[in-house]
Amino acid sequence: MRARGRPWITLTKTLGTDWEPIARRLAERLGWAIFDREIVKEIARRSHVPESLLSSRDEREVGWIEEGLAGLASKEHPSQYLFHEQMARVILEVGRRGGAIVLGHGANWLLPVDRGLRVRLLAPLPERIARVSERESLPPSAARARVRRDDAARARFILQFYRRRIDDLSGYDLVVNTAALARDGAVAVILAALDAKCGPVARRDPPRVRASGRARLQGV
């Protein structure tokens, strides 16, 4: 089914799968903006809440105590549900405009299925542990614990706010094993899938100097 208007890509933030450089390269090739922390910054701007108060609520589960106290929320202590209501509004507006790469936040469960490409990045656990161990200078045991904690937190987030299991393949159009494909290979596969689903999408030649591709959300 062809997407209407400018499409988008959602990309999971699976720890140890090279999602950051893959997102940057996609942004460079497509001339699109990346939306990740910018989503939280926009929520903070709209609600006049310090970003530091919102960051702890980003992609985490709701505890039963906080849920029970949601009615007592204030601007100084916004509830998790209020945060995610605002988050959904921002993501839907980004998707409506298109030309965006949205990282994490369960955006693949929220945006219209026919308007873009939903990608999950995966790799075998030993490969992910090795990457985290190397990049964060952690012993393998600590890297393993970090990966498992991150996986569990993201799975709880998706289950509580979207009532979905994070490994439910119906939420993804494409699953890429980043241990089998190098970064450029993963980017090529994602771009080919985007064209196949949404029709040919204009892209740029690979730049000699890479830009950040970070989005500006003012006025979204």
Residue ranges of domains in the chain: 8-198
**pLDDT value, residue 105:** 86
Record the pTM. Answer: 0.77
CA nearest to 80, candidates 71, 92, 93, 90: 71
Amino acid at 214: R
**pLDDT value, residue 23:** 95
Tokens 């709880």 belong to 156
Residue pair 91/111 in contact (Cβ under 8 Å)? The answer is yes
**pLDDT value, residue 21:** 94
- Cα separation of 162 and 182, whole Å? 31
CATH code of the domain made up of 8-198? 3.40.50.300
**pLDDT value, residue 66:** 35
Tokens 């892209």 belong to 203
Length of the chain: 220
